[in-house]
């Protein structure tokens, strides 16, 4: 396809994908963390790197922070720094998974003092949101148990509600709380927010400002993720995505790397459900680049999302609907697959150039020499997720 319809391009132009600050730091597995030369040494440098992704793609105008990994003395200053780099600060992620006190839980802990400590951390995150101009507080909880009988499952769910309600009350009028689920890890037997149903039940009990966050890597193999997307949109509770891809567990690989067709199906349901370019649904990445360069890894990711969005927007929905109503199974499937198989890359390259962007952002970034410059300038980078 050499050109894309102008109404489709109008929609694509509005697309924005938030980048995770931690994607720019070093990360790895429990076996080894490979350091990349030029890795950011502080949140300022992470934001500078994220801004490169936006400069070459015009797709990533905001950067999510993780607290305390991205703790700074002045969030006003960090906000100004982001603006100077051409981006804005986005979602604030809380972190209750790296403190000894949270070994047996944080918001669900048996001990009220530990719960209060975790609640206070979320209050601090809300204060930060107000300084950074962020709307969303994203909560992922590493809470659960490893052995049957270890924990009172019901009691933990009740305490989770109480803790979340206390945090929710602290939100400003324009703020939101998004609760992320994950089916296992770090706990192996039970997790307190393992699935969309639990997240939905918890946020529904809080109120309109609480929504579900769907991380595409957080489901059991074979899960029909697009069905969950459809259902949450239908219920008005899909607040955000953490996009990444996986082969086995929570691999945090480049979006669309493992299964581009799944990404296409998910985005198709987002569009079908009215969630595309809708302010209530935040598109974010949650990735770690263990062996590849981080900035190009993020560029590749946002381009993959853009490409699958273009293909999903190409589905002839009128014809598809007619085939569905007529019970024409094969025709309906053909229409759907036709859009998926359409190679939109040349048309997207042409469109980028027409907007003053590089036709090939990966090549343009590689030619810029930025990676060599930061490798020379920066020494002693931090490890994403686990560093200061």
| Residue ranges that bind ligand PSV, judged by CB under 6 A | 22, 93, 140, 180, 182, 215, 242, 250, 286, 385
Tell me which H or E stretch contains 384: none
For residues 39 and 93, which CB has a smaller minimum distance to ligand PSV in the complex?
93
For residues 156 and 182, which CB has a smaller minimum distance to Mn ion in the complex?
182
Q: Provide DSSP, 72-127.
A: -S-HHHHHHHHHHTT-EEEEEEP--SSSGGGTT-STT-SSHHHHHHHHHHHHHHHH
Interface residue with Mn ion, options 18, 70, 192, 242 (CB under 5 A): 242
Nearest 5°: phi and psi at 2? -90, -30
CB of 27 to ligand PSV, least distance (A): 8
| 384, 24 contact by CB (below 8 A) | yes
Tell me which H or E stretch contains 305: helix 294-313
Given Mn ion, ligand PSV, none, residue 93, with its beta carbon under 5 to 8 Å by kind, binds ligand PSV
- Pick out residues in 259-298 that bind Mn ion (CB under 5 A): 286
Residue 49 near Mn ion by CB under 5 A: no
Given ligand PSV, Mn ion, none, residue 290, with its beta carbon under 5 to 8 Å by kind, binds none
| 170, 209 contact by CB (below 8 A) | no
Residue 364: strand, helix, or coil: helix
Residue among 138, 148, 162, 151 nearest 66 (CA): 138
Given Mn ion, ligand PSV, none, residue 298, with its beta carbon under 5 to 8 Å by kind, binds none
Residue 45 near Mn ion by CB under 5 A: no
CB of 68 to ligand PSV, least distance (A): 12
Residue 215 near Mn ion by CB under 5 A: yes
d(CA 172, CA 227): 32
Given ligand PSV, Mn ion, none, residue 385, with its beta carbon under 5 to 8 Å by kind, binds ligand PSV
Task: Give me the numbers of helices (H) and strands (E) for the chain, helices first please.
Answer: 14, 10
CB of 259 to Mn ion, least distance (A): 16
CB of 337 to ligand PSV, least distance (A): 31
CB of 65 to ligand PSV, least distance (A): 11
- What residues make contact with Mn ion under the rule CB under 5 A? 215, 242, 250, 286
């Amino acid at each position: 396809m050499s050109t894309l319809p102008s109404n489709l391009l109008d929609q694509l132009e509005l697309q924005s994908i938030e980048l995770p600050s931690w994607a720019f730091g070093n990360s790895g597995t429990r076996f080894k963390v490979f350091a990349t030369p030029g890795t950011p040494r502080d949140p300022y440098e992470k934001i500078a790197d994220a801004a490169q992704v936006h400069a070459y793609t015009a797709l990533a105008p905001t950067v999510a922070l993780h607290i305390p990994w991205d703790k700074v003395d002045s969030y006003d200053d960090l906000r100004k720094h982001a603006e100077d780099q051409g981006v804005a600060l986005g979602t604030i992620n809380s972190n209750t998974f790296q403190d000894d006190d949270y070994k047996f839980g944080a918001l669900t802990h048996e001990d009220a003092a530990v719960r209060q400590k975790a609640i206070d951390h979320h209050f601090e995150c809300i204060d930060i949101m107000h300084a950074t101009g962020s709307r969303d507080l994203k909560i992922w909880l590493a809470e659960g148990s490893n052995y049957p009988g270890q924990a009172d499952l019901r009691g933990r769910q009740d305490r989770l509600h109480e803790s979340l309600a206390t945090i929710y009350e602290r939100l400003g009028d324009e703020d939101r709380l998004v609760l992320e689920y994950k089916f296992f890890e770090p706990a192996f037997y039970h997790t307190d927010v393992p699935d969309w149903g639990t997240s939905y039940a918890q946020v529904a009990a809080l109120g309109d400002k609480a929504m579900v966050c769907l991380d595409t890597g957080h489901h059991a193999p074979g899960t029909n993720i697009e069905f969950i997307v459809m259902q949450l949109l239908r219920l008005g509770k899909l607040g955000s995505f953490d996009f990444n891809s996986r082969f086995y567990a929570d691999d945090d690989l480049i979006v669309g790397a493992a299964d581009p067709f799944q990404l296409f199906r998910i985005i198709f349901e987002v569009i079908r459900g009215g969630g595309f370019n809708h302010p209530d649904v935040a598109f974010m990445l949650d990735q770690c680049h263990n062996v590849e360069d981080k900035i190009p890894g993020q560029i590749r990711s946002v381009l993959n999302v853009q490409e699958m969005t273009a293909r999903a927007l190409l589905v002839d929905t009128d014809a598809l609907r007619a085939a569905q109503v007529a019970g024409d199974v094969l025709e309906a499937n053909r229409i759907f697959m036709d859009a998926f198989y359409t190679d939109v890359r040349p048309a997207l390259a042409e469109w980028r150039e027409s907007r003053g962007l590089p036709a090939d952002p990966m090549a343009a970034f590689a030619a810029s020499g930025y990676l060599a410059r930061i490798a020379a300038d920066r020494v002693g980078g931090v490890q994403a997720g686990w560093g200061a």
